[in-house]
Amino acid sequence: MFKNKAKTGDSLKEKVSPKNFTKNPIKGTKFTVMISSAKGGVGKSTFSINLLFALQKLGYKVGLLDADIHGPSLPKMIGLNERPKTNNDKFLLPLEKYGAQFMSLGFLVDEKTPMIWRGPMVAGTIKTLAEKVLWKDLDFLIIDMPPGTGDTQLTFAQDVKIDGAIIISTPQELALMDVTRGIQMFNKVKIKILGLVENMSFFKGDDGKSYNIFGEDGVEKTAKEFDKKFLGKIPINTELRKSADLGLPLTYKKPDHEISKIFADIALKIKQDVL
Ligand SMILES: Nc1ncnc2c1ncn2[C@@H]1O[C@H](COP(=O)(O)OP(=O)(O)OP(=O)(O)O)[C@@H](O)[C@H]1O
Ligand SMILES: [Mg+2]
């Protein structure tokens, strides 16, 4: 009788104890870096695409996976809207442009498909995107995440081997509260945080002065507080926005632009940390 009791106790323990997830590396890539923010609209996608080409300029083969469900922005940012081909119906072939490889839900789901249909389709699609894209010999795969700490983030965190995460934020207090949540999420799922980036840091006027529109040094202070690296500040810049709207990323089009140099500096820091 006691024996049985002990057995029940053991199986219950097994059920309630935290699961150990097997994290599979994404095939065809050496390093997978996730770009994330708990808050929406802070510039993850803009950062992802420009970091991608900054890493390419360092001589790496790069690819970008746009994992945003509700608003995949890659097709517009890169000026691509084709259906990806498949390899014997088994794997999806990434699209190629400017010497880089790309995959986005936006290539697979019609822009006009109502959101209510997208939801259930997307849950499975995320897994497919993580497992069934035939990336070719990539050094770096950048994953542009949707905002928040929801299902997509957890699917990736639990199933996929991520080499590091970068958290993007704007400097105002409200955004910083979300950064804290983001840091806690990555700590919980044991993903290394490569560092924090402050986007829309300041605006340089025609008068040459810098204006701290959303506050000053908030992200750097948060990084210090949590003992994380601070990777850099990206100012509000019209050319950066326009280049994304035109499908011609700034770091690709103008690698010597002062903003591109900031991205080059961040790319170098990531290289040093990951390699
Ligand atoms: N440093 C910047 N200077 C000027 N415009 C910027 C900057 N960063 C981002 N933007 C613009 O702000 C808007 C939102 O940026 P983006 O789409 O990159 O944010 P996101 O965090 O990916 O948003 P979402 O949470 O919806 O995925 C875009 O129009 C983009 O061009
Ligand atoms: Mg985005």
Left (φ > 0), alpha (ψ -120 to 50) or beta: where does 87 sit? beta
CA distance 257 to 125: 37
Residues of the chain with pLDDT under 70: 1-22, 111-123
The DSSP bridge partners found for residue 236 are: 203
CB atoms within 10 A of CB 76: 18
Distance, CA 73 to ligand 2 centroid (Å)?
Answer: 6
Tell the residue nearest (CA) to atom 19 of ligand 1. Answer: 43
Largest CA distance in the chain: 84
Q: What is the second-level CATH architecture of the domain 29-274?
A: 3-Layer(aba) Sandwich (3.40)
User: Which pLDDT value is given to residue 178?
Assistant: 85
pLDDT value at residue 231: 97
Measure 69 CA to ligand 2 centroid, in angstroms.
9
pLDDT of residue 114: 60
Report if pTM > 0.85.
yes
Mean predicted lDDT score pLDDT of the chain: 86
> What's the pLDDT score for residue 110?
72
- What pLDDT, on a 0 to 100 scale, did the predictor assign at position 172? 81
Q: How many C-beta neighbours within 10 Å does residue 88 have? A: 5
| Domains of the chain by residue range | 29-274
> Residues with beta carbon inside 6 Å of ligand 1?
37, 40-46, 68, 71, 73, 147, 199-200, 234, 236-237, 240-241, 244
Listed residue (58, 50, 61, 48) closest to 94, CA to CA: 61
Distance of CA 197 to the CA centre of its chain: 12
The set of residues, in sequence order, having a beta carbon less than 8 Å from that of 157 and lying 6+ positions away, is 185, 186, 189, 191
**What pLDDT is recorded for position 122?**
62
pLDDT confidence of residue 1:
43
Q: What pLDDT was estimated at residue 137?
A: 96
| Residues paired with 193 in a beta bridge | 165
Per-residue pLDDT tens digits for 98-117: 999 999 988 887 766 665 55
Distance 5 CA to ligand 2 centre (A): 52
Q: Which of 39, 44, 46 to mutate to test the pocket of ligand 1 (most atoms within 8 A of CB)?
A: 46
| pLDDT score recorded for residue 246 | 93
Tell the residue nearest (CA) to atom 15 of ligand 1. Answer: 43
**DSSP helix/strand/coil, 16:** helix
Question: What sign does the dihedral 3-4-8-11 (CA atoms) show?
Answer: positive
